[in-house]
């Protein structure tokens, strides 16, 4: 194999057929960017080839010089004909990712076909408990009660999606749904999972703190709930990308609830659905506008977008029969209005979007207004909000040192807190979020800058790698230590005088671990926006790079960062950078929307 320091070139070198080499190179490149395939209809192949290095072009032929129709040994156009690559619906895939996509779509179809035999019985069960269901309704609303609608819909269906932004009540909806399930069948076996340990723990904490968890039957069930990462739920095999739970050995649960589903990449999404019996129920929850997974694909967002009616931005699409049934449980003011159901869409009747932000404080309202303007790409609205006088939103065009230091001075609270649990909670009240890792506005430089400032203020004494009160973020699962990727803890001197790392376990107990045993972890005064998904903080400082051409700067990234804040958000970045970011969107290429709709 010829060596060029280019991962995509190394991949193309594995392809013997010269006609496929440029396509293999481009596919590897697109996969690394989060796409599942190449869209041959829209891809400018000649323009793309011109952008490649001269070294690559001397070895790999141009697209205009090859003919993939002659590549019969390695390329298929028939899904039943398994070859390394396939062209399907004018999209060029590796067969592996085409297979993942196919499994996802086919399994969703299985869920939906199998639920049809259960709908009548489930409707009967719901009617039997109509008085208990009425207690779950929000009687103070004068608009559709989408929370209860999502619960009823998820009870009826084998496959359901509930999506909504921060503050719309996804946790309350889960609590209501669990109340519904356990009221009708107390013996039901339910699992709750999330892509990261942090997201799973936060879901459990939020659920325990929800008022409904103090009421029966949920009160006696909440401690028994299985809450874990998706990897742990499926059962990791050492040194293998296969799981113990699969289509031949499915999960032993009646209901699987999956939170933060927008973070799930295509391979894990396929394996998760494989492991759930299509006669059981699965409910996917998440924010369709958030950043997609770090790996290839944006399955959750694609599924939501596949259900959109033409000339509409509403995901709440139900047929007349479903509307009539759900409305029978709702007050007149809270009922669903018929919105033009389309029979030809597989996912209609299966997606509920929570629309109303339940947070009423000024900070939440400002954050919601800004996040909506960003997602809808309303640049003038964004500009107007940025120049406002609200204490909940500040914008620093000059990367002001004093403003930065005033924010990070907030870390003093956790450093001076002697109680370990309270210290970790105070640490998680504020966070600096960065778009990038490298550069002066990346997490490495920002973390170092914060350390220096806190040391100058005599709050830290950085005399070793693991100094007193060092905040750390676990970056790799460690099953033996009960640590998950995304867990945040602090280093403090232990009872024997040596430095120990402390974390809050999902049970609420404190874990004490020698830092050397953890494996992969890093300082977390600042963290990437990607890593912050699944977390919320009272105060957030967002530091954007000054290079507006940075491809990471998209409206989804900025939306995700802003919606991590519950009370206040400060943005360090020029108006030009922010506006450019709002106008850039993540567009991940896959075949899910076309294949679902056709």
Per the annotation, binding residues are 164-171
Q: 466: closest CA among 426, 433, 514, 407?
A: 514
> Residue 302 in contact with residue 262, Cβ under 8 Å?
no
- Report residue 342 as tokens: 């389309």
Angstrom distance (rounded) from CA 379 to CA 576: 11
Q: 36: closest CA among 567, 530, 593?
A: 593
DSSP one-letter code for 193: E
Q: Which residues pair with 394 in a beta bridge?
A: 570
Angstrom distance (rounded) from CA 392 to CA 402: 18
Residue with tokens 């009922």: 335
> Residue 518 in contact with residue 501, Cβ under 8 Å?
yes
The CB-side HSE value for 254 (13 A sphere, CA atoms) comes to 12
The three state secondary structure string of 205-231 is HHHHHCHHHHCCCHHHHHHHCEEEEHH
What are the helix (H) ranges across 116-255?
119-128, 130-134, 146-156, 170-184, 197-209, 218-221, 230-234
Task: Indicate the helix (H) or strand (E) that contains 146.
Answer: helix 146-156
**Count of Cβ atoms closer than 10 Å to residue 468 Cβ:** 16
- Report residue 462 as tokens: 């950085």
Angle (nearest 5°) at CA 489 between 483 and 493: 115
- Report residue 50 as tokens: 């011109």
Angstrom distance (rounded) from CA 322 to CA 513: 52
**Count of Cβ atoms closer than 10 Å to residue 208 Cβ:** 15
- Report residue 564 as tokens: 């991590």
Angstrom distance (rounded) from CA 179 to CA 273: 24
Which residues does 11 contact at the CB level (< 8 Å), separation at least 6? Answer: 24, 25, 27, 28
The Cα-based distances of 236 to 226, 275, 314, 477, 479 in angstroms read: 16, 13, 38, 11, 10
- Report the first-to-last Cα separation within the chain, whole angstroms: 42
Q: 260: closest CA among 233, 284, 244, 277?
A: 284
Annotated binding-site positions for ATP: 164-171
Angstrom distance (rounded) from CA 84 to CA 12: 12
Characterize the bridge pairing of strands 526-528 and 521-523. Answer: unpaired
- Report residue 126 as tokens: 């719901």
- Report residue 305 as tokens: 């977008």
Q: What are the DSSP calls for 458-490, one per residue?
A: TS----SSS-TT-EEEE-S-BGGGTB-TT-EEE
> Residue 403 in contact with residue 410, Cβ under 8 Å?
no
């Amino acid at each position: 194999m010829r060596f060029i320091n280019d991962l995509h070139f190394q991949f193309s070198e594995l392809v013997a057929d010269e006609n496929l080499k440029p396509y293999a190179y481009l596919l590897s490149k697109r996969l690394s960017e989060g796409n599942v395939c190449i869209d041959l209809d829209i891809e400018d192949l000649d323009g793309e080839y011109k952008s490649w290095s001269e070294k690559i072009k001397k070895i790999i032929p141009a697209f205009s010089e090859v003919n993939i129709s002659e590549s019969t040994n390695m390329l298929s156009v028939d899904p039943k004909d398994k070859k390394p690559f396939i062209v399907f619906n004018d999209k060029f895939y590796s067969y592996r990712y085409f297979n993942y996509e196919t499994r996802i779509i086919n399994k969703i179809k299985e869920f939906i076909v199998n639920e049809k035999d259960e709908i009548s019985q489930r409707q009967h069960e719901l009617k039997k408990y109509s008085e208990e269901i009425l207690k779950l309704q929000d009687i103070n609303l004068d608009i559709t009660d989408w929370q209860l609608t999502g619960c009823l819909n998820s009870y009826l269906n084998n496959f359901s999606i509930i999506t909504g932004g921060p503050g719309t009540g996804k946790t309350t909806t889960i609590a209501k749904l669990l109340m519904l399930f356990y009221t009708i069948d107390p013996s039901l076996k339910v699992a709750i999972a999330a892509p990261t340990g942090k997201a799973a723990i936060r879901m459990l904490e939020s659920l325990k703190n929800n008022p409904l968890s103090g009421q029966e039957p949920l009160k006696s069930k909440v401690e028994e709930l299985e809450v874990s990462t998706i990897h742990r739920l499926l059962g990791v095999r050492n040194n293998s990308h296969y799981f113990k739970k699969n289509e031949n050995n499915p999960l032993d649960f009646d209901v699987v609830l999956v939170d933060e589903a927008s973070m799930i990449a295509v391979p894990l999404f396929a394996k998760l659905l494989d492991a759930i019996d299509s006669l059981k129920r699965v409910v996917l929850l998440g924010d369709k506008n958030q950043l997609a997974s770090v790996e290839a694909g944006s399955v959750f967002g694609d599924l939501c977008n596949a259900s959109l009616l033409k000339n509409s931005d509403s995901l709440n699409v139900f047929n007349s029969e479903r509307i009539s049934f759900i409305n029978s449980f709702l007050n007149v003011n809270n009922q669903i209005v018929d919105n033009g159901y389309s029979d030809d869409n597989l996912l209609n009747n299966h997606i509920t979007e929570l629309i109303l932000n339940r947070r009423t404080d000024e900070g939440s309202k400002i954050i919601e207004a800004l996040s909506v303007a960003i997602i809808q790409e309303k640049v003038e609205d964004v500009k107007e909000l940025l120049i406002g006088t609200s204490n909940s939103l500040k914008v620093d065009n000059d990367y002001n040192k004093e403003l930065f230091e005033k924010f990070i001075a907030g870390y003093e609270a956790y450093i001076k807190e002697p109680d370990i649990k309270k210290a970790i909670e105070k640490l998680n009240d504020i966070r600096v979020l960065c778009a990038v890792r490298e550069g002066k506005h990346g997490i490495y430089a920002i973390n170092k800058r914060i350390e220096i400032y806190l040391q100058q203020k005599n709050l830290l004494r950085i005399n070793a790698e693991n100094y007193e009160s060092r905040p750390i973020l676990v970056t790799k699962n460690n099953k033996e230590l009960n640590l998950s990727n995304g867990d945040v803890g602090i280093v403090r001197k232990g009872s024997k005088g040596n430095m120990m790392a402390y974390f809050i376990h999902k049970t609420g107990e404190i874990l004490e671990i020698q830092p050397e045993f953890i494996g992969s972890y890093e300082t977390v005064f600042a963290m990437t926006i990607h890593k912050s998904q699944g977390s919320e903080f009272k105060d957030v400082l967002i530091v954007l790079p000054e290079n507006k051409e940075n491809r990471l700067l998209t409206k989804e990234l900025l939306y995700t960062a802003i919606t991590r804040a519950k009370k206040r958000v400060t943005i360090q970045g020029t108006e030009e950078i922010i506006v450019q970011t709002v106008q850039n969107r993540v567009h991940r290429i896959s075949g899910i929307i076309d294949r679902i709709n056709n």
